[in-house]
Structure 1
């Protein structure tokens, strides 16, 4: 077994630059499961790369079983002991067949061929992927790819595995698969270091380390860390939903101690409190007033029996969008959900002509595919913000980056400054502060907002956002989602959001379009879609914790909680009303 000691470590990417890691002292003990939390830019990923010598300290030492990562001759041994799984499995898979990919690491360690075969079989067995041994990795789902990446690390027999946000790009079922694998590995004695923005994942750990500006702020059990609600919020973090609910109700005596809580315990505790006949003296609002969306506006978008193929009429043909028909009214906010590979991105790229339909008809505003289609005009009317939009940033300053799109659609230079300032204000960034700053000097959340501002500046009538909050810390995620909602309400734009996060969908959308295998499974209000939990589970999705809790309490016969509430504080208010 192995142990990592970090002694007085500082690190900067280039000489003369500010330190990303500052005089850090930390120990990871053998067999531990440690979660590392922190806002974007806190130094988490930089720390991960220090642990196996991908980064070398500017000052101080990192020791793995006493071996110093600064000793170049020992790096081979260190990397054999400390494996690393990155956020995007596509960046880690290099072979055309699964077994060849897993063999790559042991081959480079000089392992005998007969032993490599044994390791391939054992590694695939551990991650439950043995039947995919002859499959090309590119044909696997996101969760399956990530498990193959883990198997590739396991084949090198490390004692420690560092996971750098391994579930951030996965759908709910893929996330569950990877987390189950991580727990299984830890139960077999492998030390786990998990970097994550998902607070629920941190609850699985023995210990939680919270970072800020390259230093450790908290280092304790999950119970103690999540007792520090105010400090976590100052660090751009939030409580896990289940802990947030518990904490809200603890104030009124419904619960006592925060210890190994889960959904079943929360449900039982609330029902037992109700059955006891106790009343609580708590302030609450007399119900939540919700305004209904006006459904009388005209259809802005219509698809009728639309099909789309990749590599049509070749041996690699893939039928990505299958017989899809739906309409959307002007001003609606539509969520699109589905498992990895369900056709979400393929569909939204049809809506602005990046993909072109193979059969069926599509009307968007005055664009029709059965006329002589003007795709340039369509793309001006329908703006897309892609996943990880900060990768689209390329100019020297924020102002120049935002100006690129408007200039290319003919906005005059006289009006350009106003367009840039309005776009920055729309994403809650002060033009005076941000115009002349390099976009590459901004935090993750700020980069995301600048990239979205670049699309908003083109003033599209329809805005499509593909996973706009993925990879962001909880507070940055909320900021991005808040200004998206604010912009939607203030301008009345028709907006689409593609997301794996069921809470985001509940928070933002009027209706939800559920895809599976390129087909529409459900298209209905959020409330009605989330009632269909059995169908969602069948296609690899789930519903928010708050929905599960509402269902469990209402099914007990003791409660009648509004099923359309998805905000935890609003939900708490509704429950307090019933308990009072």
Structure 2
């Protein structure tokens, strides 16, 4: 493929000529002979069934293919000259988790601005304007790891808007969003076009975008262009009709009951006073705005998360007291993110629940065909499209013989035919006397399939009753952010149709270094100077050979941790307690096997030779090495990882691709607890948790594979935000939102700490 920046008529933004893309190890191309053009200022709507190559086409246009993702690419993508510059193509990924480069809201939005060399003073207004444009009301310093899927989607769109790119690619931007948030995305798309931007939108539920689109391109299975339409000629999805007859067994005892449930994350109440009762044959839909705790409610009902208060019962038995095998034989669960529940490296293995050979059994092939996954048997479940991942997760779940089916966003990322297939299967479960509880933002689904609907908002249950009454209550729909027809508030929008600016009465955004909370002296040190100092102290600690020297070294370590770092002794002990067992075993091994000098008293027991000499020498080794562990904990606990990486480039002039690349490589560390919790949940649900003593071994390979995937995706996300060329190669070819000052006082303090450590060793 060639990407040319010249030789295009000035009116064209891009031109695609006979584009064919074939991924590694794929037998068929994902795209085949695709051709079209898009003029500047136009909006192209790309539609087609799940898995037909829409995201592949978008990534090829953005240059991610083949620059970041290996594939054989033939044909041409020709860009207007201005689009060939870094950051001029804004890309919102299909899965927002795949494009987050940083950990906080401000850093996330600022990353693209830094690559564009936007001045630091201009960044805060752009951040606030972009957040307001998508209706995400959060503090800039918030960590997005706590966001719901819909809130992450908003942040992904805001990050692209802030860059003020000339071409904006939105890959299913409304997936996982509540109706109110979808209105913001529709409005933002309209205003981007009004501002003269070129826009490309990929959507399954695309009808609202037809009002702003200039051309509609439909792809067919196999990655070929099926047709090109004017917006008024594009096919419409057929309206859903109520096809289900009532299947609720009102005369039977509830299969699931929840009483007085409450859930709190830290100081925040997610919801409280939640009561529900679901009977056999009943379909309960759970609605509510993004961040209301709908997914958390499903996790509580499944017994995957313990509520802060209240209880959940399955047929009268407390769920959390049921053995895991019995619980998940009766309660099936599908995560909002389908990747969370994948256990195997091939699609066919996931369906079968075991590792298959080259031959795929007939029953597995039938399931693949039924769920639109034909031809995917030998592919990785992590490499197929988001819609295919959802269908695979549903196929795996539906092979269980459960009584209760908990499904989080069952129709996410689905075309009309796939959506109908999934919903018909859920209907069939209800007709068979099973209970379905589904979290959704789709009001049409609720009207056509649900027997009952619960609205979760404002920290509790706003409504619990028949769908018809809810859909007639316009005031309640607006209060719960479920009204897609209400006008978007545009008082904060610029007159030229761009993203909104901060109003004069709004307080200015604070930079990462500001804040009123007192910080310990160790937290105020330059992070990289501190790391060098603590590394030197650790090296000195390893050289200590007497208990006196060890005592002084440990006194210095204590002063750093508690005197300068203000760390909690209790938290330190709690976090490092697992290592105590390891060091205890090590001490025993050293004491029982050390070669004692002649004349030393040795007690022989079994095949061990115990001596005081071995014990003291082992204790010295333990004290030396454990001191380095504590120093490492002090560094991690008192250092912001982003500050550390930024400081390497900003203060020590390390090429950003090395410092930020290190962040990508170690990105899994910040997600370790989250990923471990998810793997535990997934294996529990799939009945693969196993004996507790072997769980570390079972989790090791999946966690390693996950860390590799996270690092690869992070690297791709960085390049998609303009992190290539000079902004990645030269420290002075980018700007910085975080200002990491290298002060003389930091160097002097670090030198003093190292000198104190050397003095401890020298004196003894």
The two structures share one fold, judged by TM-score above 0.5? yes
**Does 2:258 match 1:298?**
no
In 1: Cα distance, 2:449 partner to 2:400 partner = 23
Structure 1 residues 438 and 388 mapped into 2: Cα distance closer, same or farther (>3 Å)? Answer: same
In 2: Cα distance, 1:292 partner to 1:331 partner = 5
* Aligned residues of 1:300 and 1:328 also touching (Cα < 8 A): yes
C-alpha distance after superposition, 1:479-519 (max 9, x if no partner): 11112212331x21112111111111222221111111341
**Does 2:89 match 1:82?**
yes
The equivalent position to 1:479 in structure 2, one of 418, 421, 426, is 421
Per-residue deviation, 1:351 = 1.5
Please give the secondary structure, in 2, of the residue aligned with 1:353. Answer: coil
Structure 1 residues 354 and 119 mapped into 2: Cα distance closer, same or farther (>3 Å)? Answer: closer
The equivalent position to 1:468 in structure 2, one of 393, 410, 430, is 410
Per-residue deviation, 1:50 = 1.1
The equivalent position to 1:221 in structure 2, one of 230, 233, 237, is 230
Structure 1 residues 317 and 31 mapped into 2: Cα distance closer, same or farther (>3 Å)? Answer: same
Per-residue deviation, 1:176 = 1.1
In 1: Cα distance, 2:164 partner to 2:484 partner = 37
**Does 2:525 match 1:515?**
no
In 1: Cα distance, 2:153 partner to 2:40 partner = 24
The equivalent position to 1:40 in structure 2, one of 45, 50, 57, is 50
In 1: Cα distance, 2:396 partner to 2:138 partner = 45
Per-residue deviation, 1:51 = 1.1
In 1: Cα distance, 2:455 partner to 2:305 partner = 20
Matches within 5 A, 1:116-265: 116=123, 119-120=126-127, 123=130, 132-138=139-145, 145-204=152-211, 205-212=213-220, 213-226=222-235, 238-239=236-237, 241=239
Structure 1 residues 434 and 381 mapped into 2: Cα distance closer, same or farther (>3 Å)? Answer: farther
- What is the match of residue 525 of structure 1? 466
C-alpha distance after superposition, 1:279-318 (max 9, x if no partner): xxxxxxxx999657442122222222122233xxxxx333
Which has the larger share of helix? Answer: 2
**Does 2:15 match 1:65?**
no
- What is the match of residue 503 of structure 1? 444
Per-residue deviation, 1:148 = 3.9
Per-residue deviation, 1:45 = 0.5
In 2: Cα distance, 1:542 partner to 1:496 partner = 22
* Aligned residues of 2:455 and 2:464 also touching (Cα < 8 A): yes
Structure 1 residues 445 and 479 mapped into 2: Cα distance closer, same or farther (>3 Å)? Answer: farther
In 2: Cα distance, 1:171 partner to 1:153 partner = 20
In 2: Cα distance, 1:436 partner to 1:289 partner = 33
Please give the secondary structure, in 2, of the residue aligned with 1:19. Answer: coil
* Aligned residues of 2:248 and 2:281 also touching (Cα < 8 A): no
Per-residue deviation, 1:375 = 4.7
Matches within 5 A, 1:425-464: 429=370, 440=381, 448-464=390-406
Range 343-352 or range 144-153, more displaced: 144-153
C-alpha distance after superposition, 1:498-554 (max 9, x if no partner): 111111122222111111134111111122222223202211113899xxxxxxxxx
Structure 1 residues 544 and 507 mapped into 2: Cα distance closer, same or farther (>3 Å)? Answer: farther
* Aligned residues of 1:343 and 1:515 also touching (Cα < 8 A): yes
The equivalent position to 2:304 in structure 1, one of 350, 354, 368, is 354
> Structure 1 regions of 5+ residues with no counterpart?
68-74, 227-237, 246-286, 311-315, 408-416, 546-580
Per-residue deviation, 1:471 = 0.5
In 2: Cα distance, 1:478 partner to 1:448 partner = 14
| TM-score normalised by structure 1 residue count | 0.70
Structure 1 residues 497 and 214 mapped into 2: Cα distance closer, same or farther (>3 Å)? Answer: same
The equivalent position to 1:18 in structure 2, one of 17, 28, 31, is 28
Structure 1 residues 59 and 458 mapped into 2: Cα distance closer, same or farther (>3 Å)? Answer: closer
Q: Which structure would you say has the larger Rg?
A: 2
> Structure 2 regions of 5+ residues with no counterpart?
1-10, 67-71, 487-764
- What is the match of residue 279 of structure 2? 329
The equivalent position to 1:309 in structure 2, one of 264, 277, 291, is 264
- What is the match of residue 536 of structure 1? 477
Structure 1 residues 402 and 139 mapped into 2: Cα distance closer, same or farther (>3 Å)? Answer: closer
In 2: Cα distance, 1:369 partner to 1:99 partner = 40
| TM-score normalised by structure 2 residue count | 0.54
In 2: Cα distance, 1:342 partner to 1:427 partner = 34
Per-residue deviation, 1:14 = 2.3
In 1: Cα distance, 2:133 partner to 2:97 partner = 21
- What is the match of residue 230 of structure 1? none
* Aligned residues of 1:34 and 1:208 also touching (Cα < 8 A): yes
In 2: Cα distance, 1:147 partner to 1:335 partner = 23
Structure 1 residues 426 and 369 mapped into 2: Cα distance closer, same or farther (>3 Å)? Answer: same
* Aligned residues of 2:387 and 2:412 also touching (Cα < 8 A): no
In 2: Cα distance, 1:51 partner to 1:211 partner = 15
Per-residue deviation, 1:358 = 2.7
In 2: Cα distance, 1:116 partner to 1:325 partner = 45
- What is the match of residue 377 of structure 1? 326
* Aligned residues of 1:52 and 1:78 also touching (Cα < 8 A): no
Structure 1 residues 293 and 337 mapped into 2: Cα distance closer, same or farther (>3 Å)? Answer: same
* Aligned residues of 1:462 and 1:493 also touching (Cα < 8 A): yes
RMSD between aligned alpha carbons?
3.8
* Aligned residues of 2:470 and 2:476 also touching (Cα < 8 A): no
In 1: Cα distance, 2:154 partner to 2:310 partner = 38
Range 14-23 or range 44-53, more displaced: 14-23
In 2: Cα distance, 1:60 partner to 1:38 partner = 21
Structure 1 residues 5 and 200 mapped into 2: Cα distance closer, same or farther (>3 Å)? Answer: same
C-alpha distance after superposition, 1:54-90 (max 9, x if no partner): 11472222111158xxxxxxx9x44432211123334
The equivalent position to 1:110 in structure 2, one of 105, 117, 130, is 117
Please give the secondary structure, in 2, of the residue aligned with 1:175. Answer: helix
In 2: Cα distance, 1:542 partner to 1:207 partner = 28
**Does 2:311 match 1:341?**
no
* Aligned residues of 2:168 and 2:199 also touching (Cα < 8 A): yes
